[in-house]
Amino acid sequence: MYAVIATGGKQYKVETGQKLDVERLGVDAGDVELRPVLLVDGETVLATPAQLGASSVTAKVVGAAKGPKIDGFVYKNKSNNRRRWGHRQHYTTIEITAITKG
């Protein structure tokens, strides 16, 4: 059985026991309940909001992670215009503990 969940503006295909990094959730510890967009169990596919009303995906927050450092530099010729910037995305690492059909 697997599910497709939506969190942080992105969708992920998950199975029980899988660990993955998602956009920061704002929860440091404990369990998180995520909403499934699609649920597949063998030949059964649940996709409509009416079918997915009682289904859920439960995950445990394992920790935090950081993405790669992105360095940017903007330069305009002949105008002494330079701008340097950097970014490093923060992620929450979760482990999928249960997928329920409802």
Mean pLDDT of 61-82: 96
DSSP conformational letter for 42: T
Max Cα–Cα distance, the chain, nearest Å: 65
pLDDT band of 100, cuts 50, 70, 90 = very high
- Provide the whole-model pTM: 0.82
Residue 93 in contact with residue 19, Cβ under 8 Å?
Answer: yes
Confidence label for 91 from pLDDT (cuts 50, 70 and 90): very high
What tens digit of pLDDT does each residue of 24-66 get? 998 888 999 998 999 998 888 999 999 898 899 999 999 999 9
Contact, 71 vs 99, CB < 8 A? no
